[in-house]
């Protein structure tokens, strides 16, 4: 197809289906250049949590491997951080099936997990099956406190200055990530509290620049040097104590390999 024909075909498709403009506006190259314009002096850094002694052997007990699920390495990251930093109070935005909550629960005193309520999800036009899948793995866990509401407005005052680790995994648009990041700062127990964002990468190597822009715009500039992308996972993390890190690089030669045993169990519904 010639360039001019492709251009005309594109215009005709945009006229017929205007929502396709979103695909253009969300093109990763465009998002990357917008991010670099916004933060010209910022160099993305990576941290290799899976090289830490605490990450030598990790057992994950609740994995659904269903659409949109986090990666095993994302849950493993949360467990390693909770163990290494003796996290007691954990707060997350985004419960969904309760998988992250269930994977963290054995490692902390209290999991607080916030999600839009079923009624709010219904009002947004979500399918019943999607709504019913919420909390599947977390609903019966003793130390999981389910909170319902929109992270944009939810009253955070009972949780202020109490949380050791905050996991932001709700709405992943730039504006929502910026807002959630800003709002979550007040929940930190102290300057050692940790923040983790999901989907800061589009796969385990490539950054997701709209989410990263939300993260860096949501944080005070003084916190920027301590934000790291996590090798082998989709997350970014804010770690207060400086850690050895490397400049983000793509297509590195592997320096470690993981082995996985899959064990299936029936989950009673």
Ligand X SMILES: C[S@@+](CC[C@H](N)C(=O)[O-])C[C@H]1O[C@@H](n2cnc3c(N)ncnc32)[C@H](O)[C@@H]1O
Residues that bind ligand X (CB under 6 A): 68, 70, 92-97, 99-100, 114-116, 121, 150-152, 169-171
Sheet containing 236-238, strands listed edge to edge, beginning at the edge strand earlier in sequence: 144-148, 110-115, 89-93, 165-168, 194-197, 236-238, 227-230, 45-47, 246-247
Residue 105: DSSP 8-state? G
Q: How far is the CB of 141 from ligand X (least distance, A)?
A: 13
Q: How far is the CB of 173 from ligand X (least distance, A)?
A: 9
Task: List the one residue out of 230, 209, 206 whose CA is nearest residue 76.
Answer: 230
Q: How many CB atoms lie within 10 A of CB 87?
A: 23
Residue placing its CB nearer to ligand X in the complex, 200 or 245: 200
The contacts of residue 251 (CB under 8 Å, 6+ apart) are 205
Q: How far is the CB of 78 from ligand X (least distance, A)?
A: 9
- Cβ–Cβ under 8 Å, residues 39 and 223: no
Q: How far is the CB of 154 from ligand X (least distance, A)?
A: 7
Residue placing its CB nearer to ligand X in the complex, 97 or 188: 97
Residue placing its CB nearer to ligand X in the complex, 29 or 68: 68
The contacts of residue 128 (CB under 8 Å, 6+ apart) are 122
Locate 216 and state its tokens: 């860096």
Task: List the one residue out of 160, 145, 162, 134 whose CA is nearest residue 68.
Answer: 134
Residue placing its CB nearer to ligand X in the complex, 93 or 105: 93
Q: How far is the CB of 8 from ligand X (least distance, A)?
A: 38
The contacts of residue 62 (CB under 8 Å, 6+ apart) are 99, 102, 103, 137
Residue holding tokens 């994977």?
103
Locate 51 and state its tokens: 């090289």
Q: How far is the CB of 181 from ligand X (least distance, A)?
A: 13
Residue placing its CB nearer to ligand X in the complex, 19 or 65: 65
Q: How far is the CB of 158 from ligand X (least distance, A)?
A: 16
Residue placing its CB nearer to ligand X in the complex, 44 or 184: 184
Residue placing its CB nearer to ligand X in the complex, 45 or 69: 69
């Amino acid at each position: 197809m010639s360039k001019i024909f492709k251009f005309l075909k594109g215009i005709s498709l945009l006229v017929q289906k205007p929502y396709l403009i979103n695909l253009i506006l969300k093109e990763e190259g465009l998002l990357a250049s917008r991010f670099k314009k916004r933060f010209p002096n910022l160099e993305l850094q990576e941290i290799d949590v899976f090289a830490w002694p605490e990450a030598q052997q990790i057992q994950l007990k609740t994995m659904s491997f269903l659409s949109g699920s986090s990666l095993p390495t994302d849950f493993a990251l949360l467990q390693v951080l909770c163990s290494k930093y003796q996290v007691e109070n954990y707060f997350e935005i985004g419960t969904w099936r309760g998988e992250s909550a269930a994977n963290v629960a054995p490692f902390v005193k209290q999991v607080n997990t916030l999600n839009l309520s079923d009624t709010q999800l219904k009002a947004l036009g979500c399918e019943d099956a999607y709504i019913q899948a919420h909390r599947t793995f977390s609903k019966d866990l003793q130390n999981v406190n389910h909170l319902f509401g929109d992270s944009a407005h939810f009253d955070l005052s009972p949780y202020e200055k109490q949380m050791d680790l905050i996991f932001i995994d709700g709405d992943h648009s730039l504006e929502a990530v910026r807002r959630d990041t800003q709002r979550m700062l007040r929940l930190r127990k102290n300057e050692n509290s940790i923040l983790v964002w999901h989907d800061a990468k589009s796969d385990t190597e490539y950054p997701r620049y709209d989410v990263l822009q939300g993260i860096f715009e949501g944080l005070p500039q003084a916190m920027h040097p301590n934000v790291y992308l996590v090798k082998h996972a989709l997350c970014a993390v804010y770690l207060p104590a400086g850690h050895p890190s490397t400049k983000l690089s793509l297509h590195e030669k592997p320096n470690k390999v993981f082995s996985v045993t899959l064990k299936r169990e029936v989950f009673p519904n």
